[in-house]
Amino acid sequence: MNLKQQAAARTLDYVRSGMTLGLGTGSTTAHLVDMLGERLHTGELQDIRAVPTSERTAAQARTLSIPLTTLAELGRHRGAALLDLAVDGADRVDPDLNLIKGLGRALLREKIVAVHADRFLIIVDESKMTPRLGDNCPVPVEIVPFEAEAHVRWLGTLGCHAELWLEKDNSPVVTDDENYLARCWFPDGIADPVALARTLAGRPGIVEHGLFLGMADAVIVAGSEGIRILQASEAGR
């Protein structure tokens, strides 16, 4: 197995029959969904219900006969934490287990699902670890289509190079919720991710951002020397 597959396989140790799961979006999580479908098929796992974070993940899960549900449906039967576990990948992870996510184009739904989970587990290969967020990785920002150019121009005043994310045919990338995405490149990394997140959250036209700060409970990292499991409680949180 490659590193992404190794990380996904280890993640299944956290999954038990009867759980409600949040299923993330991206290449690493796609391996997990495949493996989850196989265990349901063989009967190793039973009575799993999952909330997907994108139409892409939902389509994959349906192909594998993974039962899907919604947060609204779960809310009729459960308490505050609607999901036992949400599992997703990340584009970057810093030493405090803060994340950049969303280059799989699903950051809004990913964050909504994550905040409704009792535990949020991240799976990555070692290339995604970084000493500082923003170092050689853009922060995706979901914006409304109305006056998109103005939102991108404002983002560029935050110490970054901001660009509207375009498809190969130069049309805007459109999310499952019919918003656009911008990418913000910070040449020296992000000096204060908390302050940046606060600024982005307060701006009209900015729907959501790809800074997932203080959210991950654990990160499974697959590397050349094996699997490491980083716990939030050991990272100063």
**Which residues participate in catalysis according to the annotation?**
110
User: Are 84 and 119 a contacting pair, CB within 8 Å?
Assistant: yes
Scanning the structure block, which residue is given the tokens 């349901």? 40
Scanning the structure block, which residue is given the tokens 């490149």? 185
DSSP letters spanning 47-102? S-EEEESSHHHHHHHHHTT--B--HHHHHTT--S--BSEEEE--SEE-TT--EE--
| H or E segment to which residue 217 belongs | none
Quick count: other Cβ atoms within 10 Å of Cβ 60? 19
